[in-house]
């Protein structure tokens, strides 16, 4: 599993920032950034929130608890692929609320099944595909009840 220190360093490097530049941008000490990136210290919640907001990621992603960069995003460009079965999209309009619910459910599935990393990538994909299928089946059943 990826650590907070690795995630922070990778995010900083992806933005081509030096530790001092990141620190200045967030009104932090450069030594704090160094401690975070070496794993000597984990920031308090307000600083975690600043960092997550700055990089446009979730706190869980930064902490290495999830591989989904941003749960709030309902964009098809987010790190989670939204697989909408044709049977559903042909019959029903897919709203942004549907997409947000899907992302939240996949987040829960990811946290529930993969936190200890005992699954290989193929098993993870199969499990998430199954969860996706169940999600859209449930949406169809809920629409029928109305």
Q: Are 111 and 66 in contact (CB under 8 A)?
A: yes
**pLDDT at 62 > cutoff 60:** yes
Flag whether 50 is in a domain: yes
Q: Are residues 54 and 94 in the same domain?
A: no
Q: What is the number of domains present in the chain? A: 2
For 34-43, 67-76, 127-136, which range has the lowest pLDDT when averaged over its residues? 67-76
Distance CA 44, CA 63 (A): 12
User: What is the domain-level CATH number for residue 45?
Assistant: 1.10.260.40
Percentage of the chain beyond pLDDT 90 is 26
- Farthest-apart Cα atoms in the chain, separation: 58
Q: What is the pTM of this model?
A: 0.50
Mean pLDDT across 72-84? 50
Domain around 18: 4-62
Q: 139 and 90 in one domain?
A: yes
């Amino acid at each position: 599993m990826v650590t907070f220190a690795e995630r922070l360093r990778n995010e900083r490097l992806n933005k081509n920032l030096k530790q001092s530049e990141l620190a200045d941008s967030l009104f932090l000490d450069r030594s704090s950034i160094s401690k975070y990136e070496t794993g000597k210290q984990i920031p308090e919640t307000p600083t975690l929130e600043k960092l997550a907001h700055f990089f446009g990621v979730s706190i869980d992603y930064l902490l290495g608890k999830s591989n989904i960069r941003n749960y709030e995003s309902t964009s098809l460009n987010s790190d989670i692929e939204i697989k909408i079965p044709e049977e559903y999209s042909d019959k029903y309009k897919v709203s942004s609320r549907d997409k947000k619910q899907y992302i939240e459910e996949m987040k829960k599935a990811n946290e529930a099944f993969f936190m200890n990393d005992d699954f290989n990538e193929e098993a993870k994909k199969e499990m998430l595909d199954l969860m996706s299928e169940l999600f859209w089946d449930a949406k169809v059943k809920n629409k029928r009840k109305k």
